[in-house]
Amino acid sequence: MTPLTCGDAKQSDLGSDWNRVRSTRDSSETAPCLLSAGQRRSRPYYFAEVRRPGEPSLVIPLAYKGNHSDSATSAEQPASASAHAEAVHIGRWSETPGLLFSTQLPTDGGTMTVHALQAPGSGGRSYPAEGREANLDAKPAQENVMSDIRPPTEGPVAPEPVRGRHVQPKDYAWFRGSPARTTAAGLMAFAGSGHATARHLTDRQGRKRFTGLEHAADMSIQDAAHVLFGNEYIGAGHVFRLNGPRVEAFSGMDEDVFRLLARGDVEEYRALVHASRHVRPRLTFDEDWGGPVSVHADGSVFALRLLPEQDRDAMPRLRGA
């Protein structure tokens, strides 16, 4: 493992309530959903996908730990986190890159420290197998793949397999589609569209959970549309209390992006997002909306504002995000 970064930040500098509410969305997916939902094995917490159209994606396992103790505890945590990151090999044995994190968050309001280790490697890329490209627009396939990790044979006797998951060339076509479809499902769930979420999942990933009646009492439903910064967004509205005042939240997707994913055009979505990745992101206060708005490169948006009848004196707490 190679030390990558070590960043410090005062807890008082971590932002206001807005920063605590806004969930970070990036090109990462939870490993249990992407791999084999329901199985109790050590595995990475997330996969980060680095991609460019026309080239094989680089998929990096991520694992992290946290503590409220000291640097000695932080120094030990990457060792235990490595068991999770190393539980998945993509391509050649022991060549998969990885990232490990340990976050030290003191309870006395002092300095938060993030330690990171990088494991370099030539693996992590799922090249087309036997000329077969993954069809990202096809219905997701529920397959039994990725047996235990098998070290290379160096003598007449093959070594015993190692507990874990091994994405081999025969699995590449399936594995290339998994991050794309899991990302699409997450975005549709973020926008509150259960049926659009279901079309990108297998039964093991919870597809049936999103195919029933969409009711506001038990889930977020796609029931709202707003114009933000001149663009139309479709999503779900929420109302809750934030330190007392009642707040309206809107989570959704750019209308064009939403339509693409709702009808299953994952390939076109990924091309569109890649082309607009430098111009779409935005984080600022929208006067017309009346609160802070965060737009991500993936087309998702999250916005907050006080309900109209609330005391406008509370607005600076939102504006300070």
- 73 backbone φψ class: left, alpha, beta (φ>0; ψ -120 to 50): alpha
Distance between CA 206 and CA 187 in Å, rounded?
15
Low-confidence ranges of the chain (pLDDT < 50): 1-26, 36-39, 215-219, 321
Task: Render pLDDT for 49-88 as a digit per residue (tens, 0 to 9).
Answer: 998 888 888 999 999 999 998 888 888 898 889 989 999 9
Average pLDDT, the chain: 80
Predicted pLDDT at 1: 43
- pLDDT score, position 28: 59
Distance (Å, rounded) from C-alpha 184 to C-alpha 206?
14
CB atoms closer than 10 angstroms to residue 143: 11
- Contact present, 190 and 25 (Cβ < 8 Å): yes
pLDDT at 126 (0 to 100): 81
Share of the chain above pLDDT 90, in %: 40
d(CA 104, CA 227): 40
User: Cβ(66)–Cβ(102) under 8 Å?
Assistant: yes
Question: Parallel, antiparallel, or unpaired: how do β-strands 2-10 and 111-119 relate?
Answer: antiparallel
pLDDT reported for residue 266: 93
In this prediction, residue 320 carries a pLDDT of 53
State the Cα–Cα distance between residues 300 and 304, nearest whole angstrom.
14
Length of the chain counted residue by residue: 321
Q: Tell me the pTM.
A: 0.75
pLDDT at 97: 95
Chain mean position to CA 201? 15
Q: What is the pLDDT, as a whole number, of residue 309?
A: 67
